[in-house]
């Protein structure tokens, strides 16, 4: 049997960074995000040869071990190793599992769509399908957060795990004691289609490591400098943009994106740079109302709201720069999906 799963990547519309401790613990965070039809995929094939084999298709990496209660946390595919260790310890009484785990992603790592966290959710989904683990959506999302942020000590926030698990358009609140409230927004089909039609998603081909940006944001919260005030304003824009969507005011959403981007750039020094600013200014000159980077910043995907038929002009202008690619997409309403098939 094959045990499969897929989890959608997300666009961080507003509030990004306010889901990171200690900001969320002290002030409470608020995030607006939406998932797209680009996915992280995972397949588990149980083995009988006493081996553990990890295959990551995107990077053409294969790691193989003798099945053990704990795998070493060094070398390639750290996420896969960490998840295996946690599953064995927490759900298999420390007894080794023999399996082949194959993973792939529809976008590159470090592209700002929550790639690592979404991959963790997809892998957990495959294990849940195989071992019939008693985990609901909140359980899986929080478990993914624990593995990535606590066990593996990877820097980042909390939104990505919940977006990948729940899917759709969500307004999320992050409170003290790791409490998370996911509020799905009921957006009409017409508005959702128009929003997607008017959004240009652009891959800058600049992969980034978000850890140093997040570390600076954490320090800025502790220092209570001007960057902290920018975070407060970014959170306020998340509430504003949520209301824009619920009132079906997409034009106002586009303008709010522009304001939010101006504040987000103040949260840490390397969120933007001359390269990113040039892309942004090109999009605005050709009809975009606003936009931003999806994720911590520094590179990866950017998106722009372009009313009417401006999306065509913006896409053409960005492609003429010959520094990235326009990515076709649709919004996805479903989150983590798992299923079982007979091996062929």
| Closest CA relative to residue 326, chosen from 285, 283, 287, 277 | 283
User: Is the torsion defined by CA of 102, 113, 227, 14 positive or negative?
Assistant: negative
Taking every pair of Cα atoms in the chain, the longest distance, rounded to a whole number of angstroms, is 60
Q: Could you give the C-alpha distances from 52 to 2, 13, 45, 48, 65, in angstroms and in order?
A: 15, 38, 10, 10, 5
Choosing from 49, 139, 160, 325, the catalytic residue is 160
Q: Could you give the C-alpha distances from 29 to 119, 151, 237, 325, in angstroms and in order?
A: 23, 22, 12, 32
Are 225 and 268 contacting, i.e. CB atoms less than 8 angstroms apart? no
User: Is the torsion defined by CA of 127, 128, 129, 131 positive or negative?
Assistant: positive
Q: Using the 8-state DSSP alphabet, how is residue 205 labeled?
A: S
Residues with Cβ within 8 Å of residue 73, at least 6 apart in sequence: 81, 82, 85, 152
| Closest CA relative to residue 331, chosen from 230, 229, 192 | 192
Residues with Cβ within 8 Å of residue 304, at least 6 apart in sequence: 199, 200, 202, 257, 283, 288, 289, 290, 291, 314
DSSP β-bridge partners for residue 52: 65, 99
Our answer to whether residue 325 is catalytic in this structure is: no
Q: Could you give the C-alpha distances from 16 to 9, 34, 281, in angstroms and in order?
A: 15, 12, 21
Residues with Cβ within 8 Å of residue 61, at least 6 apart in sequence: 54, 55, 76, 77
DSSP β-bridge partners for residue 34: 11, 169
Active site residues: 160
């Amino acid at each position: 049997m094959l045990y499969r799963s897929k989890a959608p990547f997300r666009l961080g519309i507003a509030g990004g960074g306010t889901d990171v401790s200690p900001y969320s613990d002290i002030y409470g965070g608020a995030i607006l995000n939406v998932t797209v039809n680009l996915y992280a995929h995972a397949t588990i094939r149980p083995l009988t040869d006493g081996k553990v084999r990890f295959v990551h298709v995107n990077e053409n990496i294969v790691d193989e071990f003798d099945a053990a209660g704990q795998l070493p946390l060094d070398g390639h595919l750290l996420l896969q190793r960490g998840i295996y260790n946690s599953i064995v310890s927490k759900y298999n009484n420390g007894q080794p599992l023999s399996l082949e785990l194959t993973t792939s992603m529809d976008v590159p790592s470090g592209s700002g769509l929550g790639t690592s966290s979404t991959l963790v959710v997809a892998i957990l989904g495959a294990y849940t399908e195989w071992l019939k683990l008693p985990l609901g959506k909140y359980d899986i999302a929080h478990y993914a957060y624990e593995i990535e942020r606590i066990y593996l000590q990877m820097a980042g926030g909390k939104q990505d795990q919940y977006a990948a698990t729940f899917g759709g358009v969500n307004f999320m609140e992050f409170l003290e004691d790791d409490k998370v409230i996911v509020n799905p927004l009921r957006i009409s089909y017409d508005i959702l289609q128009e929003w997607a039609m008017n959004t240009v998603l652009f891959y800058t081909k600049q992969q980034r490591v978000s850890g140093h940006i997040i570390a600076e944001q954490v320090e800025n919260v502790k220092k209570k400098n001007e960057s902290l005030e920018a975070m407060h304003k970014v959170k306020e824009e998340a509430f504003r943009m949520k209301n824009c969507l619920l009132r079906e005011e997409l034009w106002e959403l586009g303008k709010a994106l522009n304001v939010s981007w101006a504040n987000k750039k103040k949260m840490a020094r390397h969120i933007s740079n001359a390269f990113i600013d040039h892309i942004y200014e090109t999009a605005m000159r050709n009809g975009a109302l606003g936009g931003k980077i999806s994720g911590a910043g520094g590179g990866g995907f950017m998106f722009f709201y372009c009313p009417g038929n401006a999306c065509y002009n913006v896409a053409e202008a960005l492609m003429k720069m010959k520094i990235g690619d326009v990515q076709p997409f649709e919004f996805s309403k479903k989150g983590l999906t798992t299923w079982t098939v007979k091996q062929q």
